[in-house]
Amino acid sequence: LAKTTQPISMDSYEGQEVNITCSHNNIATNDYITWYQQFPSQGPRFIIQGYKTKVTNEVASLFIPADRKSSTLSLPRVSLSDTAVYYCLGAPMEYGNKLVFGAGTILRVKS
C-alpha cells in the first residue's frame, strides 16, 4: 500500500484558502487518492477522493497531476470548525479497501 508524506502541521486564518499537499511516489495504479478528516475524539470522516485531474465537491477540491505522485487538498475559505487532522492515503479500488493512515496534517485555523 502506498506510503504518503504530508506536512505535520499547518496554520491558517479564517476565510483563507488552505492547500495541503501530499506526496505519494509509489501510489498503485489501482489506488484512489483519498482524504479523510478527523476531529478530536471522533472517527475519521471521508472528505474527497479522486484518481487523476481535479475533483470538487461541496467541501473541498482535490488536484492530482498526471503522474499521480502527489495530490493537493484545497479547502476554500476555512473556518474555525475546519481545525482538524487531515489524512491523505491511497485507497485500493479492489478487495478489502485496507487503508493505511499516516500521521496526517494538523490544520489549525485561527481567528
Partner 1 sequence: DAGITQSPRYKITETGRQVTLMCHQTWSHSYMFWYRQDLGHGLRLIYYSAAADITDKGEVPDGYVVSRSKTENFPLTLESATRSQTSVYFCASRGTGGGDEQYFGPGTRLTVT
**Beta-sheet pairing, 84-92 with 105-110:** antiparallel
The least distance separating partner 1 from the CB of residue 43, rounded to whole angstroms, comes to 3
Angle among Cα 22, 23, 25 to the nearest 5 degrees reads 150
Which residues contact residue 29 at a Cβ distance below 8 angstroms, ignoring those fewer than 6 apart?
none
Q: Cβ closer to partner 1: 63 or 86?
A: 86
Q: Cβ closer to partner 1: 21 or 49?
A: 49
What is the identity of the amino acid at 40? P
The least distance separating partner 1 from the CB of residue 14, rounded to whole angstroms, comes to 26
Residues engaged in binding partner 1 (CB under 8 A): 32, 34, 41-46, 49, 87, 91, 93-104
